């Protein structure tokens, strides 16, 4: 069923991971999709696998206002309108405490994860008012429950949650809904890179499975299905919602992974990613 037939989606971070799965879901549901990324290689790879007249690729950085103003204008020029803005682009580094995080690292993660939403909204809100459109933000479970050794990242996701609710109130009079999706662990290229950097690589996969009470760490398609619901008419009376897609990971603490004999290393940090 094409529940997004003739809709136009402006999707940031859409060439990898959750974003790529969302792009495929939106297209299959009948949407035209403008995919924004700042990664040339990733854009090229994605275009080779996923390209037709209803998919439009734009090289742009969400942290740069002129890039996003240009991307919004290009999308409208190409497709004629924008119905949905999905703010999926995000970075998770550095894996540090507050005091160990440099000014440059702090600014980078905030400029992408939070200011990116500011930029797409600032330059896209006029188009959404015309279509009574939708804004969807990709947040994270850690924005609610916290996470050790990821102070800047968790701070940005907490900000995304609060921003989502404020925007829902601000734009409801225009018929615009604003929601966020909050995954826990999701197998994306970013998570796989992080997993390979951990000191106990052999146990990471089982660890990531076990932190979810449903018993497994999902692929991005699980999150994409929920995103499709939130941007469709099926969720027409849902706004200001931070919807967990977490397999129950937030419901309580359990000691999931035994340490190897003689190993005093602490358990690895869960990595919630875009």
Query: In the structure, what pLDDT confidence band is assigned to residue 197 with cuts at 50, 70 and 90?
Result: low
- Phi, psi torsion values for 85, nearest 5 degrees: -115, 120
Asked if residue 264 has pLDDT above 60, the reply is no
Pick from 4, 47, 17: nearest CA to 220: 17
Interatomic CA distance for residues 166 and 232, integer angstroms: 21
Interatomic CA distance for residues 32 and 28, integer angstroms: 9
> In this predicted structure, what is the pLDDT of residue 60?
98
The tens digit of pLDDT for each residue in 150-170 reads 899 999 999 999 999 999 999
pLDDT winner (highest mean) among 115-124, 181-190, 215-224: 115-124
The tens digit of pLDDT for each residue in 55-108 reads 999 999 999 999 999 999 999 999 999 999 999 999 988 889 999 999 999 999
**Pair of tokens at residue 268:** 């690895």
> What mean pLDDT comes out for the span 214-231?
88
> In this predicted structure, what is the pLDDT of residue 272?
40
**Looking at the DSSP assignment, which residues form a beta bridge with residue 56?**
34
Pick from 3, 20, 12, 35: nearest CA to 219: 20
> In this predicted structure, what is the pLDDT of residue 8?
98
Pick from 153, 179, 174: nearest CA to 164: 179
Share of the chain above pLDDT 70, in %: 86
> What mean pLDDT comes out for the span 208-231?
85
Q: What is the pTM of this model?
A: 0.88
The ranges assigned to domains in the chain are: 8-185+219-250
Per CATH, domain 8-185+219-250 is 3.20.20.150: no
Could you list the active site residues? Answer: 153
The tens digit of pLDDT for each residue in 130-148 reads 999 999 999 999 899 888 8
> In this predicted structure, what is the pLDDT of residue 199?
62
């Amino acid at each position: 069923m094409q529940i997004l037939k003739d809709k136009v989606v402006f999707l940031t971070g859409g060439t990898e991971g959750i974003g790529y799965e969302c792009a495929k879901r939106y297209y299959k549901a009948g949407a035209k999709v403008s995919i924004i990324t700042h990664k040339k290689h990733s854009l090229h790879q994605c275009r080779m696998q996923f390209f037709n007249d209803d998919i439009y690729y734009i090289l742009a950085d969400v942290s740069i206002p002129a890039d996003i103003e240009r991307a919004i204008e290009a999308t409208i020029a190409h497709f004629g309108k924008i119905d949905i803005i999905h703010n999926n682009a995000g970075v998770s580094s550095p894996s540090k405490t507050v005091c160990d995080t440099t000014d440059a690292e702090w600014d980078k993660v905030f400029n992408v994860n939070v200011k990116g939403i500011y930029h797409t909204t600032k330059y896209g809100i006029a188009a959404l008012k015309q279509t009574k459109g939708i804004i969807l933000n990709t947040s994270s479970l850690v924005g609610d429950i916290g996470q050790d050794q990821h102070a800047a990242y968790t701070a940005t996701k907490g900000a995304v949650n609060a921003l989502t609710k404020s925007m829902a109130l601000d734009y409801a009079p225009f018929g615009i809904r604003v929601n966020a999706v909050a995954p826990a662990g999701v197998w994306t290229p970013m998570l796989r890179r992080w997993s390979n950097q951990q000191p106990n690589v052999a146990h990471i996969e089982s660890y990531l499975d076990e932190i979810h009470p449903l018993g497994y760490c999902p692929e991005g398609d699980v999150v994409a299905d929920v995103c499709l619901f939130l941007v469709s008419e099926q969720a027409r009376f849902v706004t200001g919602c931070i919807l967990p897609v977490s397999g129950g990971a937030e419901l309580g603490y359990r000691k999931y992974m035994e340490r190897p004999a003689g190993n005093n290393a602490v358990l690895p940090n869960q990595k919630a990613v875009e």
